[in-house]
Structure 1
Amino acid sequence: MALRALNYLELESRLARSGIGTAADQQRAALERTDVEVVTSPWRGGDPLSGVRSLATGSGFFEDFDVAHCNLVGPGSLAVARYANRNDVPLILHTHVTREDFAESFRGSTTIAPALGRYLKWFYSQADLVLCPSQYTKRVLESYPVDAPIRPMTNGVDVDALEGFETLREEYRDRYDLGGTVVFLVGNVFERKGLTTFCRVAESTPYDFAWFGPYDTGPHASKAVRQWTTNPPENVTFTGWIDDIRGAYGAGDVYLFPTKNENQGIAVLEAMACGKAVVLRDIPVFEEFYTDGHDCIKCETEAEFREAVERLAEDEQLRRRLGENARETAMEHSLDRVGDRLAATYREVRDAKRAGRSIDLDDE
């Protein structure tokens, strides 16, 4: 039976450079491979003002959809949640934000995090189903506790979008004056993602380090971000936003990600899909996806990160072996698999709502 689903990301244009924006883009790309019809705005006409005009003519404020799937937690998503619950529309809320990963993201975020946690507990509990990227995130939500069924589902990786990254190697290495073994990271520059560790490891090694991603040095920036980006070590380059993310994966050799907290980490999967050797902090979320010594190297201390980088820089065979295994791991998160699971989940939630029952997670 045909199904029309809302896949909504409020503030979409502002989040285009974020992991949340990438996750939503990948959901939609995955659903294009299924028979689900997707609408991306809940408002008739595509925006709230058009929705108001539509309401004035008797056509209604909201679009028609069989399932509502929201990817953020702000006022737009809250309006959709209220509409869905008042009109018996199945509601899926996707967890890309937790109290834990909000901390150390920008100035004041750690102070705000406890209050955010209380709001998230209430917000996610409105759902017929909460989706999250990992078993780790599910445990975090259960600890709040969120009063709704919770199902882990990988964000996936868009392998097709990375095709041709190798051809950009020299262009991006020349653009940012990078040479030899390049240690790199992709994503927004936050202390939570291991900024201080990244820079201190760089200070203790002779290799070029590059962080590909935007950063803020204004009033919202944390002290650590302002410190390291305005006065970086001599061998560290902060590129800011780049137009073609494939250039980062082309230019880099060793992906160093000393993050302190993640719900999954899409850029890790992208680096793996490109066959890069990956070095990760040994945190719980990575236990369920990656195996130390097989498709990555896991570390806990700055000394261990430095030793891992030095080993990989000196041992091309090790880099190649880890990269090949990493590519196989990434293929387990293909968008074909994500699309099939997401389409099946939409239908499951719709059918359960019609039958007046909750989602059954006992068999998972």
Structure 2
Amino acid sequence: MRALNYLELAGPLERSGIATAARQQHAALAPTDVEVVTRPWAGDDPLDTAVSIARGDGAFADFDLAHCHLFGPGSVAVARHARRTDTPLVLHAHTLRENTMGSWRGVELLADPLERYLRWFYSLADLVISPSAYAKRRLESYPIDAPIEVLTNGVDLDSLAGVEEYREPYRERFDLEGTVVFTVGNVFERKGLTTFCELAQRTDYEFVWFGPYDTGPHASEEVKRWVNDPPASVTFTGWVDDKRGAFGAGDVFCFPTKSETQGLVALEAMACGKACVLSDLPVFREYFTDGEDCLLCETETEYVEAIERLAADPGLRDELGANARETAREHSLDRVGEELADIYRDLVEGTRS
């Protein structure tokens, strides 16, 4: 079977969670009998595509199934091609109205139009894959007119191997000492930026946000405020070359995010054996257990108490971290590849109910 697994704007989105999820799927499918292509277009470049069109062979490559991770014009073109050619179409619901708000300046003005658009777009699918039961429920509330199945984004355990070796080099690089509270990923208000900085002001520990940020015109006021004038104990590193350095350097992973479809970075922190302090969200309660593999918090006071407990008790950090590592193993790419290959096979054979 030849399957298109397509991330539109893969270059600009290279540092995003969606891109990580797509790359993980490509890796997960490699051991299966699915041949993966990542570009929908005929040929390797626009000239090849133009030649194919001129020959009358069309703009699209040959594939038995199409799977798209985004919702832009390229993905819409693939979806329409799939409809015309009766090719099974899978759309991946990484993006919801809820997890877009708070990412860029003025995005809240697009909330209602975005929800209507996503309702239309996801309804084109033969199957929508949701990273969590929480996201599935949100899609059902829109509602969308397509079946929905839940499949974890998984976590690439191999990509995090040897994380301990990066601890000292990255702590030296960013001049870190003592207990370091940290998070990883793009700097957005939706990811809990204001809470993160206010927690730093209420505790005596170093806080580090490993990840890129943008203070240009489309950046939110919160991002510009905190990045340009951070509290004394907060470091914004910008992009780091190897995520293992970020996970290695920190001690307590703090993720006060407001909305996630799954929260891949939390799984990565768990895979590295880090003690995790997370927002008390339905999506995290779905996959994680408070007090066993993480600590879940609703208020800033609860976050402060959790951080203080973990800073004072290395044994508790180790216990939570060990349990978290076991949780992450349940989301291995072996599982993702097998389940995704089964989904593809059933859709192509017409046996998926």
TM range (shorter): over 0.9
**How high is the sequence identity, in percent, across the aligned residues?**
64
C-alpha separation in 2, matches of 1:9 and 1:330: 24
Letter in 2 for 1:223: E
Letter in 2 for 1:17: R
Q: Is the 8 A contact 1:185 1:255 kept in 2?
A: yes
Matched, 1:158 2:156: yes
C-alpha separation in 1, matches of 2:257 and 2:349: 39
Superposition deviation, residue 323 in structure 1 = 0.3
Q: Select the residue among 335, 338, 347 that pairs with 1:337.
A: 335
Aligned to 1:29: 27
Letter in 1 for 2:342: A
Letter in 2 for 1:24: A
Where 2:115 maps in the other structure, the secondary structure is: helix
C-alpha separation in 2, matches of 1:58 and 1:86: 16
Aligned to 2:85: 87
Where 1:217 maps in the other structure, the secondary structure is: coil
Q: Select the residue among 253, 257, 275 that pairs with 2:255.
A: 257
Aligned to 1:232: 230
Letter in 2 for 1:217: T
Where 2:129 maps in the other structure, the secondary structure is: strand
Aligned to 1:168: 166
Q: Select the residue among 307, 310, 317 that pairs with 1:309.
A: 307
Q: Is the 8 A contact 1:155 1:338 kept in 2?
A: yes
Question: Is there any run of 5+ residues in structure 2 with no aligned partner, and where?
Answer: none
Aligned to 2:267: 269
C-alpha separation in 2, matches of 1:155 and 1:205: 33
C-alpha separation in 2, matches of 1:180 and 1:339: 40
Q: Normalising to structure 2: TM-score of the pair?
A: 0.99
Aligned to 1:15: 13
C-alpha separation in 2, matches of 1:49 and 1:307: 59
- Cα displacement string for residues 196-229 of structure 1 (whole angstroms, at most 9, x for unaligned residues): 1100001111111100111110001000000000
Letter in 2 for 1:343: A
Where 1:101 maps in the other structure, the secondary structure is: coil
Q: Select the residue among 114, 135, 138 that pairs with 1:137.
A: 135
Aligned to 1:285: 283
Q: Is the 8 A contact 1:138 1:152 kept in 2?
A: yes
Q: Select the residue among 140, 146, 149 that pairs with 1:148.
A: 146
Aligned to 1:121: 119
Aligned to 1:99: 97
C-alpha separation in 1, matches of 2:277 and 2:317: 11
Residues 39-50 of structure 1: pairs in structure 2 closer than 5 A: 39-50=37-48
Letter in 1 for 2:247: Y
Superposition deviation, residue 48 in structure 1 = 4.3
Where 2:189 maps in the other structure, the secondary structure is: coil
Q: Is the 8 A contact 1:259 1:280 kept in 2?
A: yes
Aligned to 2:194: 196
Q: Normalising to structure 1: TM-score of the pair?
A: 0.96
Superposition deviation, residue 57 in structure 1 = 2.0
C-alpha separation in 1, matches of 2:343 and 2:267: 23
The count of residues paired between Structure 1 and Structure 2 equals: 353
